[in-house]
Structure 1
Amino acid sequence: MTFPQDGDESPASGQLTADDANLQAGIRDIANLVADSRPLPELLAEVATFAVGAIPGADGVGLALLRADRVDDMVEESAVSAGFVVELDRLQYGGLHEGPGVTAALTRRTVLSGSLGGEKLWPRFGPRAGRLGVHSALALPLMVGDDVVGAITAYAFGKDVFDRHAAELGELFARPAAVAVHNARILAAALALTDRLQEVLLTRPVIDQAIGLIRGRTGRSAEDALAQLRAISQADQRKLADVARDLVEEAVRSARARTAPRSGV
């Protein structure tokens, strides 16, 4: 793994101006995403795309939203800007559990490599990336306060593509990106909770009806009747509400059959 030194050659002023403009455009785009309240997967994909423009030299970017309490399954949601990034991020997060994004998230610092094929820090990931024709990586932790919420990994096909200038621009981009990702995650969680609560409100009456039917037939308590419903739900691998609805509908059909007038013989 290589890190740019203070004596590294600075980019030309014209390139600096263009890079700064691309960074500003990326940050503006992120602000617009937040204002639009995009769904989480869509927002992550957009941020990954914007990162390609904001980080000089990037041929593709992977963005991973990470779970703080999981090592073996650390990715909660992910997005890529290009197809070749899919395999690289799958390797580092899902298969090998090593790579620039993993290291950036664990160390909470920017990580650079200009020759992945010979990178000693990632003895399994590096050679595989090199065989895929990807030789440079710049990884940035996405941090909100002291919490790491994710990581951005920029990849390039050439060697030694990313320098200190690229790292600095990437870090400037990562700050608003982290806030956008964090807010989108909170919004997605709130919407999911709202959906679950709405489902409870819609399904609770039919569950109560099914409990009443079981109690009437068996004389069991409400707790025992609910336990019976749950046992059926688990055995059939069906939702509790669906089991209750079938029970109620069957009781209604039976009642109608009993009360229906019969034709004479």
Structure 2
Amino acid sequence: MIDMAREQRLAEVFVEIADSLIDDFDVLDLLQRLSARCVELLGVSAAGILLADADGELQVIAASDEHTRLLELFARQHDQGPCMECFRSGAARTNIDLRNSGAAADWPRFTPRAREIGYVTTHAIPLRLRDRVVGALNLFQRTDRRLAEDEIALAQALADVATITILQQRSLEQSHVVNTQLNSALSSRILVEQVKGVLAERWNTSVDDAFHAFRSYARSHHLRLTDLARHVVDGSFDTAVIPAPEAGPEAGPAA
């Protein structure tokens, strides 16, 4: 059950999201925060948000950690996994025990890879608004704790917020605008991925730590992630001014 403290935190998260929905908001940063909030509020180990591109193929747009991103890329590459089925059907797939022989039979490539990373339970929640499904929210757990019905409802609410964030309600009936928004978000993600790799190599650190440092610099200087990434890629921004992450254990999901 959701206790009072978590209900208060949930209200704060929705206010945080609502405050971000300005005309020129940074969709990547918002979805990254939303994936981290899913981990915080639902007590899962990792979360990822995937969007369909113009060809209907799912692409990772945000993830609470790098292992989740790699797993979801693997699932997409082999066109299998709960997330794929959730996206196609528009129905949630929850409390899936990855140790069950049925999971291995249904998804022979996805399931062993998930177990290898350490996940034993997974959930897939559709990103939908009305009858439109634009992607999926993937949740992973390293324990066999089941999500209760109210927690699944909360996960769906967070997924719905993500969908509204992406589409922006005023544009729902304008398919060309929607496609432009989705393509722009996916293109922005590619830029950020390039920068994460460059910084991780330059600093000899993990990709998660590199992204945390990059994102912290952007937020502290009121810069959009996409704009800063573009300047890094085209060579017009000197990354030496970004404070390198401190050596030590890998940082957790960025807040």
Structure 1, 102-111 or 34-43: larger mean CA deviation: 34-43
- Retained in 2: the 8 A contact 1:138–1:167? no
Cα distance in structure 2, aligned partners of 1:34 and 1:175: 14
Cα distance in structure 2, aligned partners of 1:44 and 1:165: 22
- Retained in 2: the 8 A contact 1:114–1:162? no
- Retained in 2: the 8 A contact 1:48–1:81? yes
In structure 2, the gaps of 5 or more residues are 172-176, 185-255
Number of residue pairs aligned between Structure 1 and Structure 2: 175
1:135 Cα deviation from its structure 2 partner: 1.0
1:25 Cα deviation from its structure 2 partner: 2.5
Question: Judging changes above 3 Å, is the alpha-carbon distance between structure 1 residues 19 and 110 closer, same or farther for their aligned structure 2 residues?
Answer: farther
- 2:16 pairs with one of 25, 29, 34: 29
SS in 1 for 2:21: helix
Superposition TM-score, scaled by structure 2 size: 0.60
**1:150 corresponding residue in structure 2:** 135
Question: Rg: which structure is higher?
Answer: 1
Identity of aligned residues (%): 22
SS in 2 for 1:35: coil
1:65 is aligned to 2:56: no
**2:70 corresponding residue in structure 1:** 87
Q: Deviations over 1:189-231 (max 9, x none)?
A: 37x99xxxxxxxxxxxxxxxxxxxxxxxxxxxxxxxxxxxxxx
Q: Deviations over 1:53-94 (max 9, x none)?
A: 33x221211001113643xxx13551111122122111112x
1:177 is aligned to 2:168: no
- Retained in 1: the 8 A contact 2:27–2:165? no
Question: Judging changes above 3 Å, is the alpha-carbon distance between structure 1 residues 69 and 188 closer, same or farther for their aligned structure 2 residues?
Answer: closer
- Report runs of 4+ in structure 1 exceeding 3 Å deviation: 184-190
Cα distance in structure 2, aligned partners of 1:153 and 1:76: 12
CA RMSD of aligned residues (A): 2.9
1:180 Cα deviation from its structure 2 partner: 0.5
- Retained in 2: the 8 A contact 1:68–1:148? no
In structure 1, the gaps of 5 or more residues are 1-10, 194-265
1:129 Cα deviation from its structure 2 partner: 0.5
Cα distance in structure 1, aligned partners of 2:55 and 2:32: 24
1:36 Cα deviation from its structure 2 partner: 6.5
Question: Judging changes above 3 Å, is the alpha-carbon distance between structure 1 residues 173 and 40 closer, same or farther for their aligned structure 2 residues?
Answer: closer
- Retained in 1: the 8 A contact 2:50–2:137? yes
Q: Deviations over 1:121-142 (max 9, x none)?
A: 3232112201211111121111
**1:160 corresponding residue in structure 2:** 145
Question: Judging changes above 3 Å, is the alpha-carbon distance between structure 1 residues 69 and 134 closer, same or farther for their aligned structure 2 residues?
Answer: same
**1:96 corresponding residue in structure 2:** 78
- 1:125 pairs with one of 91, 110, 129: 110
Cα distance in structure 1, aligned partners of 2:147 and 2:123: 7
Which letter does structure 1 place at the counterpart of 2:87?
A
Which letter does structure 1 place at the counterpart of 2:82?
P
**1:78 corresponding residue in structure 2:** 61
- 2:97 pairs with one of 115, 128, 134: 115
